[in-house]
Amino acid sequence: MPQTALCKAVRHGDMINVRRLLLVGADPNETFAGRSLLSYAAAQGNTPMLRLLLDAGATPDWHALQMAAFGNHAKAVQLLLAAGAPTDAEKGETPLLNVLKSGASAEDPGRVRVIQLLREAGAREGPEWRGLGWGRSIRYVGWRWWFGRLLYSIGYSIGWLPKRWRRSN
């Protein structure tokens, strides 16, 4: 699917064209390559563009919040949270706070501010990965994976295990 004019304008940060296209009826909730227009603006930390899209009726989504958080764009995170962006991903994904805390720039002042904003908004934080008991590990990673690793460690090779875990005798 080719890019629309609105998507190109958002990706290039062209506020004038975005405003013009929204006035003539372009959809602020359109997606390109599986990402919303808000995600593209959030990844750049372009808060005026975010505000323009939100005022035009764009629905804040978790991926836009994630992109703003990964870029350490505290103002964009604050704007998306105020607009009602969900703080947690779909079930089974690593909580955003855990990913942010484990990143290379975890001590960056922008990252610290983003983590603080997410905590204040009620974002979920999972347990640390080191030293997890079986119950928590299974909930976050999946019982098949842990069971397969256990069987592999004692010498079994089962068809549904990934090839790299299979032991060849």
Contacts of residue 87, defined as CB under 8 A and 6 or more positions apart, other chains included, come to: 62, 65, 81, 96, 118, 121, 122, 123, 124
Average pLDDT of adjacent 10-residue blocks, the chain of 169 residues: 86 94 94 90 94 95 90 93 87 73 70 89 72 45 58 57 52
Query: Do residues 113 and 147 share a domain?
Result: no
- Our count of domains for the chain comes to 2
Q: Range of 115's domain? A: 5-126
Q: Is the distance from CB of 60 to CB of 38 less than 8 angstroms?
A: yes
Query: pTM above 0.85?
Result: no
Q: What is the pLDDT of residues 75-101, one digit of tens each?
A: 999 999 999 999 887 666 777 887 777
Query: Do residues 158 and 101 share a domain?
Result: no
Which phi and psi (to 5°) does residue 35 adopt? Answer: -120, 145
